[in-house]
Amino acid sequence: MKPSSMNPGVIALLCVTSLTIGSATPAVTVTPPPKTTPAKTVPNSTPQNRFLPPVQNSPPSKVTPANPATPPTAPAATTNNLPLVVVPNLTPVTIKSFTNLYAQLLAVKFTPNQQAKISQRLNREWVTNLGLRNTVTQTIALEPQIVRGTPVERTQLQTKIIANLRQQVLDGDGDALWLVSFYDAAPKNWLAPGKPPLTRMTSDMSAEVLCFMVNEVMGKSVATADTKLKNAIASKLTTEYAKIPVDTKQELSRLPTNWLAFKNGQWIRRGDYFREQMRIQWGQNLEAYIPEIKQISKLRRDRLARLQADPKIQWNKINSVQRQVVFQKSDLEFQTSLKTLPPVTTVQLTNYINNMQVANAIGNSPTRSSLRLKVK
């Protein structure tokens, strides 16, 4: 299949499904589209209602303060002179109460293996993970609403919590991904069956990654993973999922975990030069199918080529830190050129997704080797 015969937007999904994270060395720091989530919090940083919506008339949660005052009689501190945090003991009763209530809240029946995983993670992270401790406390505090509430009330509460968890995942929270994965594991909550099945978390993350890549390539926030775009990708993937090769399904299922690890790790840690190389790689894959990206993609490639060819820089002889300094010096001129480029709107992206042929494109794309898709 020739690239021109592929529907617009397919290559973007290919980038999403492959995620050769950190394989390239991608420079301009761009703030992703602003979120509109209520009560957005930083993972593991707040002691209350991290994942759960506000609860009325529920017993107050017993939360350990993040920085309790050091008792006058016990001024001992850590090597960094930080006050000691008193962590309540994790008891088998607490683990059982959380597991049973969370299962009722999600309206699923945990398997013995799932129960064991919950117990293992709580025991492993109880002392170090404040957010997880507070989630357990808040869930147990919901017992009156979960046990005594009507089916309609429990459904409403479940809907709010699942939506909250999903948004926390999109904001970069690995604990939220772990919690919502139990809900997605139930067959009744699948978008499409398969090995592995298609979940809403996977399709929502596909939309998030697509917009992230577009915004980074364009150098400004021009697209948002809104409900319309998420629904379009979910609908298209659900329709085509049976035709997608098994290996590609596995790549899709790993997308949320892989993307969070990449975005919270290498994307931040590796610096401007790495990020610019990733933008160039994404731009090359996207430009053939989203015309608005072509101009900026070429601009990025040309800038890199000029820097590499400049005899005064001796590009191949300088280290990564020195290369980042060169990018920073050329940043002002480059940013000025971004202002003249046309935007890419969410409506346009939705149209591309609505028109694409997922299975055929993924199975026959001539770019899949360069994207390192594990498709036979």
pLDDT digits (tens, 9 = 90+) for 323-362: 877 777 766 667 676 666 666 666 666 666 666 555 444 4
Mean local confidence (pLDDT), 276-287: 88
Residue tagged 């997608």 (tokens)? 244
CA distance to 58, 220, 222, 226, 231, per residue, from 211 (Å): 38, 11, 8, 10, 14
In the chain, alpha helices (H) = 10-18, 92-106, 112-125, 130-141, 143-148, 151-170, 174-184, 200-218, 227-240, 246-253, 255-264, 266-269, 272-286, 294-309, 320-329, 331-338, 346-355, 358-364, 368-371
> Of the ranges 273-282, 303-312, 366-375, which is most confident?
273-282
User: Tokens for 125?
Assistant: 């992270």
More confident residue, 16 or 297: 297
Mean local confidence (pLDDT), 26-41: 36
DSSP 61: P
Contacts of 186 (CB under 8 A, 6+ apart): 106, 108
The rounded distance, in Å, linking the Cα atoms of 27 and 334 is: 10
Mean local confidence (pLDDT), 189-195: 94
The predicted model scores a pTM of 0.71
The rounded distance, in Å, linking the Cα atoms of 334 and 299 is: 8
b (16+ CB within 10 A) / e for 299-333: bbeebbeeeeeeeeeeeeeeeeeebbebbeebbee
283 contacts 300 by C-beta, under 8 angstroms: yes
Instruction: Out of 26-35, 104-113, 156-165, 284-293, pick the least confident.
Output: 26-35
Position 311 pLDDT exceeds 90: no
> Of the ranges 121-125, 223-227, 294-298, which is most confident?
121-125
Q: What integer pLDDT is reported at residue 218 of this predicted model? A: 86
DSSP 344: -
Positive/negative CA dihedral, 64, 65, 68, 71:
negative
Q: What integer pLDDT is reported at residue 220 of this predicted model? A: 82
pLDDT one-digit tens code per residue, 209-223: 988 998 899 888 888
Nearest C-alpha neighbor of 335 from the set 219, 226, 199, 254: 219
